[in-house]
Chains A and B, each alone.
Chain A
Amino acid sequence: MYETIGLWVAAFFTLAIYSFLYKENPIYRLAEHLVVGISAGYGIAITWEITLEPRLIQPLLAGDNWVLLIPALLGLLYITRFIPSIAWLSRYPIAFLMGTGMGIGFPLTMKASVLRQLEAAMAPVYASGMPWFEVLGNLVLIFGTLAALIYFFFSKPHKGLFFGTGSKIGIWVIMLGFGATFGFTVMGRISLLIGRVQFLLGDWLHLIE
């Protein structure tokens, strides 16, 4: 019974959203507003249950972790954002999380996304036993990366053999890459539609398995 009601409610709201394709209407607007409220409400409940209760309230009640009051007070400063005269206090917790977050991220990003990628970009073109299309691919990979980097290089005009031809090859490679993104994005959006149709036809109407 519980599940059946659930299915019907879910189907109702699915169709409510699809009704927007025909025309904007009150039911769509209701659904749109509900989703904002529920996701924020869910977020609060989960955060309380998983973070604040076990990591802050329980240790504080146990009485030996008074130092945790510091992050708690810092966190509470967020609320000052709603009191115009002391709204600037809300910058403190933001500054704390932003500064430390960026500090932690800096060397790690440098390593994971710059040095490692540079290393991988310097792969050998040919190894014995490689089929021709892989060798061609490796060449495209090296020249393509180089050319695309030239395209995004702003200190020199795009003229001459190196910068002129390079940036032209670069933009072609970038377009091939964007084509792939385009194709995959179309695929992704349709997959989401498929998911909903599977729900409507399968879970709800039992027309398909």
Chain B
Amino acid sequence: MNFWDKMLNIDRRWIFLAIGVVTIIPFLIGIGMPITTTTEVEDIFDFVNELGPENAIFVAFDFAPGTQAECMPMAVGVVRHAFHNDVPVFMTAYFPLSHGMMMAGFDYVTNPSIDGYYQVVEFAEWAHLREAGITTKAELVTEWENEGNVLPENAANWVFEGRDYALLGYAPLFHLVILGMTSSIANQYPEDANGNALIEMPMLNEHKSLREVDLALTTAGSSACMSWITYAREKIGTPIAFGVTAVMATDYYPYIQSGQIIGQMGGLRGAAEYEVLMVENDVTESTGKAFRGMDVQSADHLLIILLIIMGNIAYFAGGAHKRHQMKGRG
């Protein structure tokens, strides 16, 4: 066993340690290298940015906890963006476990401990305003504040359940649910995840089916996202945007070119681009988790490329390739 072989047979826990160290250090230093944006993400951002209170979007949480690190920042980014522009957001979940992810994602946008959060007004709390016929966002905010409610200092705005958002959640055989929602959302979800009747919601009365919805963003860690193309886009032409894990992102480029999806956020990088676009356009004041992760991503990529190069040098210089050869190889 020569030097190179010894190097190749190093206990892999040393490599684990190296990755661990390289992942932690950049976090503590915090460089904040700039990120350029790509058209795939800009297209989604611009699309959402054009929307207003008269529109509505779907944000589908179609991932399980395993891939939340990648998918959550995308979904959270788009929900924030929509809330900023007063665009009503329907939220759904493809798997039982993604139901929990939806709740966690919503909690992240509306949690008072995070600056720039959106202060929730629950459906029952503003029932009297609804009954009085006040349903537009601007009027609601005025009336609500006239009643003595004060927006906390670190909050960005109020969001009214049923006016600005509806948590629809999980339903089994979700592709059929998508198909059903092309004719009526309330038929598929008589109640939302909090037990509120959907037909009483102003946002539902303005957007009764997927036909009246302007965009569906699906954030997925599996091919679940394809259901939105097959069952919504191909049936009634709903514009679809993808936010998928990096592992799957390369597979969906054909759908961007064919125009079946308006754009795609691929992995943490895609989410970071969206965060950058939001800051550039004054939607949020600071970037989020995805952008902060990109420094580490840089460091880890460099390390892995280095490992590949070193490994190959050791392999070829040490002559391991000669011992491991079959006759027929060209």
Instruction: Identify the A interface with B (CB < 8 A).
Output: 21-22, 39, 42-43, 46-47, 50-51, 54, 105, 108-109, 111-113, 116-117, 119-120, 123, 141, 177, 180-181, 184-198, 201, 207-209
Contact = CB atoms under 8 A, between A and B. Distances in A.
A186 B23 CA distance: 14
B172 A198 contact: no
A89 to B, nearest CB: 21
Interface size class, chain B: 35 or more
A187 B293 contact: no
B296 A194 contact: yes
Of B19, B170, B233, B258, chain A has the most CB atoms within 10 Å of the CB of B258
Interface stretch (B33-41, B49-57, B62-70, B152-160): B62-70
Given A108-B231, A112-B234, A180-B250, A187 B268 contact: yes
A195 B70 contact: yes
B96 A46 contact: yes
Given A184-B250, A192-B69, A208-B28, A50 B289 contact: no
Nearest to A194: B293
B311 interface: no
Contact of B259 (A120, A188, A193): A120
Contacts of A201: 24, 27-28
B8 interface: no
B293 A43 contact: no
Nearest to B304: A186
B42 interface: no
Given A191-B268, A208-B30, A112 B229 contact: yes
Given A187-B269, A197-B296, A50 B230 contact: no
B292 interface: yes
B246 interface: yes
Given A50-B171, A192-B67, A195-B70, A42 B234 contact: no
Given A109-B230, A120-B258, A190-B297, A185 B69 contact: no
Nearest to A21: B16
A43 B293 CA distance: 31
Nearest to B271: A191
Contacts of A192: 66-67, 69-70
| Shortest 4 CB-CB contacts between residues of A and residues of B | A195-B69, A120-B258, A188-B246, A191-B268
B249 A184 contact: yes
B69 A22 contact: no
A112 to B, nearest CB: 5
B186 to A, nearest CB: 13
Contact of B170 (A50, A109, A120, A184): A50
Contacts of A187: 246, 267-269, 297, 301
Contacts of A180: 250
B212 interface: no
24 contacts: A39-B97, A42-B96, A42-B100, A50-B172, A111-B234, A112-B230, A116-B260, A141-B257, A181-B251, A184-B247, A184-B267, A186-B304, A187-B301, A188-B246, A191-B297, A192-B67, A193-B19, A194-B23, A195-B69, A195-B293, A196-B69, A198-B27, A198-B293, A207-B28
A190 B70 contact: no
Interface of A is mostly: helix
Contacts, number: 131
Nearest to B16: A21
B238 interface: no
Nearest to A199: B69
A191 B231 contact: no
B190 interface: yes
Contact of B234 (A51, A108, A117, A194): A108
Of A50, A108, A196, chain B has the most CB atoms within 10 Å of the CB of A50
A191 B250 contact: no
A119 B234 CA distance: 14
Contacts of B70: 188, 191-192, 195
A208 B23 CA distance: 13
B99 A191 contact: no
B328 interface: no
B214 interface: no
B13 interface: yes
Interface string B152-182: 0000000000000000011110000000000
A171 to B, nearest CB: 13
A191 B69 contact: yes
A108 B231 CA distance: 8
A197 B24 contact: yes
A191 B70 CA distance: 6
A42 B97 contact: yes
Given A43-B96, A46-B96, A208-B30, 18 more contacts: A21-B13, A22-B13, A42-B96, A109-B230, A113-B230, A117-B258, A119-B258, A120-B257, A187-B246, A187-B301, A190-B23, A192-B67, A193-B69, A194-B69, A196-B69, A198-B293, A208-B27, A208-B292
